[in-house]
Amino acid sequence: MKHRLMSGVAGALLAAALVAPAAAASQCDAAVPQQHQLVGKTRLSVMFWDVYDARLFTDSGEFEWSRKASLNKVLVLDYLRDIKAKDLVETTGEEWQRLKFDHADQQQWLEQLQAMWPDINEGDCLALVETKEGYAEFYQGEKLLGTIKDKTFTEYFLAIWLSPESRFDYEREELVGESS
């Protein structure tokens, strides 16, 4: 009896362990259009800290930087730690500077993001869904946080992860499906 109880508990724990990652990863999956396919995924860790898991989807399941304008993309970030919205916005601006992006509307875009994005708790996700017009819709789970109706913003924002000049080479290669 004790053995059967223990194996039942072990089975339940194993089932919970197998189901938990799928449930955690699926919080923003509702924002991903059904026809989109996974291109790649990666985990960003900085020093000793895991920051987020990132997944890229396109309607073809493929990504090439030279064809970026012809692909509708979805970027999902599943956060592994708490991050303040102001820190996310500041980091976005810093990455644009590092990529040498300079656009008259950049400050306005950052202000829109600050007003739109919530503080992130471990386990939260954010998704950018590129519309057919090239606009950026941001979701947290199924909830639409807001839209920035500017194709250049969408390109600049996604370049942080997808550009060949991205800060994290290996993670970018995994995300765009170039790593083996």
Looking at 16-30, 67-81, 95-109, which range is the least confident one? Answer: 16-30
Alpha-carbon distance values, 34 to 60, 62, 74, 84, 120 (Å): 12, 15, 11, 31, 26
Residue 13, pLDDT above cutoff 70: no
pLDDT tens digits, 122-136: 999 999 999 999 999
Decide yes or no: CATH 3.50.70.10 for domain 27-175: yes
Sequence spans of domains, the chain: 27-175
Average pLDDT taken over every residue of the chain: 86
SS3 (DSSP) at 147? strand
At 124 the pLDDT is 95
At 180 the pLDDT is 56
What pTM does this model have?
0.83
